[in-house]
Structure 1
Amino acid sequence: MPATSWISPEIAMGGPSFEIPLAERLPEKRLDSWKEIAVYLNRDVTTVQRWEKREGMPVHRHVHEKRGSVYALPEEIDSWVQSRRLPLEEAELTPDTEPLPIPQADSGDRISNIPRSRLWFAFAAIVLLALLSAVWFLLRGRSKGAIQPAVRSLAVLPFRNLSGDPSQEYLADGMTEALIGRLTEIHDLRVISHTSVMRFGNPQLSVPEIAKILGVDAVVEGSVTQEGNRIRVTAQLIRGTTDTHFWSETYDREMRDALTLESELAQAIAEKVKATVTGEERQRLRAARPVAPEVYESYLRGRFVLSRGNSRAELEQSIGDFEDAINKDPTFAPAYLGLAQAYSNLGTVFVGVSPAETRPRAMLFARKALAIDPGLVGAHVLLANVLQREWQWAEAETEYRRALQLNPNGANAHAGLALWLVCEGRREEAIEEVQRGQELDPIEVSGGNVSWILFQAHRYDEAIRESRSALAVNPDDANTLSGLGFALIANNQPAEAIPALEKAIALSKGSPAATGVLIRAYAHAGRRDDALRLLAELKRRKETGYVPAAAFVNAYLGLGENEQAFGWLEQAYKERSNILQFLITHPYFDPVREDPRFMDLVRRVGLG
């Protein structure tokens, strides 16, 4: 290979060759990323990274020594190219081996002494090798040009924080979630939820393994670096089955243009995977406006805390961050959605704040978010959840349907609609809907979600299997453990339910809701004294704080004290307790279903 030229990659694919003088290539004094190095060498990022590792190509690391942040000097690269013993195309044929040394004859006499038969054999071997090489090149060229399967599903893995500052982790996490949010708006593309991909933040698995677990065709990897008011985001697309990179790009922007950056990145990915994008979807992908860096950073901090914790202290911290963002920019819709989610989570039975305090705020902030941005899918789903708990059944269905209209592949919307359907007594439709959500995102809509619907449908064996399958992946999920306890008791296996419920209570730091179910398990297992002891503890807790009425409903029904249970059902009605959504399907209500007081309660809740 001439010392002043570079062989085009078309050679390796069986195409025509041409030479580019080194002096005519990029004139930069420093190649400041893998992408720039790859462009300079007329190769892809994966190839040049392999050359650095296996062929000793000179690449330098920046001060923080992260692998993704590198630079190279053109003159060093040129010297390295010129000093290669073999053309790099030959090295690419056998990247894991060193070329064999070629024997040198000491004199013409030594060659002349070789028998003619051996010379003929050697010549034949060379011809055969040449033919095999030609076939290899032909097949390689065909495989390179082969039509790749379409990308119809995608997972955006957590972006890496390359700022060298762990306190900037919220920015990388926020960029990941924002990109997922934009891509989920494309009906032709199934995108795994932020909640599901977060467990692959420090993956010990390969990309093909992750893609198989999540059931996706391709994966997006990326990194974020912030320096002052500027942000750099690098992203690449990788095929799930072959672990091959087929696109990469780097974006440099000011922080005030972070939303524009997210928009451009989402559009580029959609174009590269050849997703069909409607006019409305394209408009939403392009929608972006400048946002003050301090507003966006407050919002991202709130999202970061909200996505990683559900204790009361963490939820209240996230509320403070969202309120700070809104105070600085009252027109920033995502911050209102963040507030709505935080208040909704505060009102769950595992946190224990009264729904009367949290639901009105969750509803208010979800509506404010939608008033600013009617296409905010998450706000429609969250509003539907709250409306359902408030027994506004028709309005809840409208919001679920609107969310699915905006994003047919929204796993959460399918799971929410499944709950609505089962509350209406449409059990088989509910099972189909939740299973559709699980197909779309098997981690976000887990076996625990499916189990609860199966439990309401009185299909206990299946519910137990789904719960145990989910716990095999995530054994410390308090919700799934509680759901397993519900199903085991209904299936006449109360003794097996006890350890699951005790663990759920320990993990949730004493959830009163799970405690009420454990009282039922003790009673049905013949441990009535333990049940009464735990009930007394629950009553003492109520004297000093909020305990949901549903805990006492489950306890007294489990003890067979139905009159006491009806008293607590009335209290649950006043609280608009979550348990009353399931009046017409919940197995624990079967013994009192024919009581006129119960039928009246069903009517008042709007289900009769």
Structure 2
Amino acid sequence: MSIGDTRLEIGHVLFIDIVGYSKLLVKQQSELLRELNEVVSGTNEFRQAESAGKLIRLPTGDGMALVFRTNTEAPAECAIEIARALKSHPAIQLRMGIHSGPVNEVVDVNQRANIAGAGINMAQRVMDCGDAGHILLSKHVAEDLEQDDRWRPLLHDLGTCEVKHGIRVGVTNLYSDEVGNPQLPKKFQTLQKHRSRVRWAEVAIAFLVLAAVVAAFIFVLRKPTRSVLSVAEKSIAVLPFENLSEEKANAFFADGVQDEILTDLARVADLKVISRTSVMQYKDTAARNLREIGEKLGVAHLLEGSVQRVANKVRVNAQLIDARNDAHLWAQTYDRDLADVFAIQSEIAEAIAQQLQAHLSSTEKAQINTTPTTDLVAYDLFLRARQLGDLSNNPDAKGSLLQAITLLEEALRRDPKFLRAHCLMCEIHLDLYWEGFDHTDARRELARVA
């Protein structure tokens, strides 16, 4: 089909994502995807649409997108069937998003059908607002379904949610006593808390007219009490490590040390570990208020440190802090050969687990002590590529993403078994595809084979 022949149509999209997929081992990921494919392809709605030639399935790495060209109800019917079937597959935790919107069909040289367009992107954004078990609908789809008495009792309006690039979307939660997740998604819980704080602030301002000193006193006393009681004891955030190397370009290496320690701690089931995305906002070490950071992230402990790299030597300093009272619980400095950097990261993770009295199984300990690669040059290339990949949300990120792919190709030439480089390669190809920088069949295929 030529560009001139491309036509827009309305696609009814069901976007499916496996929650926690990135934390699984490769074998576990493959097994879950196999099970998910069996569950999805076994639903009546899927089979009917496929036999009628009215369905396109797009793999997304950690799930799939189903584009129905039948009717508005099809994605919701399919989602409910999937949710019922998953009761006998407890290992698969899904979140699903549904939207009907413009898509355009593309046929490649092998006559394979592909679908792109805003309809798919919006379904993904709606899904991103949910947690495990949620079936979320865009406001547009919910308004269509509520015209039918059969659907109306299942639809529960959540309001608006801010998604990628600051876009706000109206979201409805679809659930019944049998399927779906009636719990308020975490993103909406955060929004609700924010609105509660705003309302409290307005009341407090009015009250200050009569009792300013008393109101301020109550606010100061109560806020820390709530925070201390609600924070889990075995919880930690690994803050960005400071780069003390003379070459400031080595910041990517300090970020890599922090991320490896965070990843190792996240493998310990007995610990609550805050994600890398949430902690990267605290990169400025001079502006840190540790108590405030601990309260905002909802953790009892913080790990911070510094990295200094000189030639083939590395110095890593790490310290564990109780965020509730600023007490230093543990600190250590490691001066080693650069080749020992993975051992340093593992030792720090084990020391932190011990300090927090977290149970560490033999499997978890073995995973922590597994090195991602034996080639330090390949590891350097991987870290540089990931730093460029972090720019994917920028409107002009295409050049950075393509440069990241070049670095990863070189890393994989040096170590073809470097699994994390393969995973990052897939992720960056998908960023190029879904962000519209290169929305082609060829790019999606590159992500699949990465």
TM-score category (smaller protein): 0.3 to 0.5
- Look at both structures and tell me which one has the larger radius of gyration over its CA atoms: 1
Structure of higher RCO (CA pairs closer than 8 Å, 6+ residues apart): 2
Q: Greater share of strand residues, 1 or 2?
A: 2
Q: Greater share of helix residues, 1 or 2?
A: 1
